Amino acid sequence: MSTAPKFVIGNWKMQAQHERGLTLAGDVTKALEDTPPPSHIRTVICPPYTQLSGVNHILRKHDLPTERISLGAQDCYPAPSGPFTGDISAKMLTELGARYVILGHSERRQNHGETDAVIRQKVKAATAAGLIPIVCIGEHLAERNEGRAASVLAGQIEGSLTRGFRGIVAYEPVWAIGSGITPSHEELQRKLSLIRALLPMRLMTDDIRVPVLYGGSVTSVQTPSLLSIDGVDGVLVGSASLEAQSFLDIIRAATEVPSSSPS
């Protein structure tokens, strides 16, 4: 019987200058090579575009399979090529070694005005290029306080995901990102149960199991309890992924959670 994977995904955002990023990637990879976590732990590093090639070189020179530690990107453009100044296509990301791509992060939705429809087109482009999309969803504080979180999440799932979606969903309540605040276990369980119920309706099938991650002020202290919640398949880590020791602590903490079989 196979073991369900647990994902630990580091999103560096627009942080870590070039040399620091390469050092960080090297420190993390070397530590995982020296003391490998269980095979069901999937580590993904998502640096800025400018560091993709260098980080990929570091990841691949160590004796770790790509399933254990992989390269991810933070966004891609919907079109495969064309006169789109400053944009990066999904195919370009795969050429640099990326296997995953984060799409629909709240900072992209807010700072760049990305709609669910745009994110869905990016999902299509990423999938066509062979990337695994990590689609972020989550409600703002006002939406939560007004009791609209369920409808917001339903709209994002319906609008952002394609039918037959094969990727990862990351639930990141916008009010928790960078705030040091995380939802209670009861609230998180309710949200995850809702997401799990909505996914088959959007995918038009019960045969695809989509991993669901939690993101928002994730630390190594919280990780075991977060991953012990039914339905949490991993964590999307922000600032704590920018220091090798704190990121490694989260990876190690993930190994403390008893593994389960995929449902």
Report whether 52 contacts 35 (CB < 8 A).
no
**Among the options 107, 114, 143, 172, which is catalytic?**
172
**Among the options 40, 105, 107, 143, which is catalytic?**
105
First to last CA, the chain: 11
DSSP-derived 3-state class of residue 77: strand
Can 172 be counted among the known catalytic residues?
yes
CA distance linking residue 168 with residue 26, whole number of Å: 26
Report whether 223 contacts 254 (CB < 8 A).
yes
Can 57 be counted among the known catalytic residues?
no
Q: Is 91 exposed, middle or buried (0-12, 13-18, 19+ CB in 10 A)?
A: middle
CA distance linking residue 151 with residue 246, whole number of Å: 35
CA distance linking residue 16 with residue 82, whole number of Å: 30
Report whether 14 contacts 242 (CB < 8 A).
no
Catalytic positions are: 105, 172
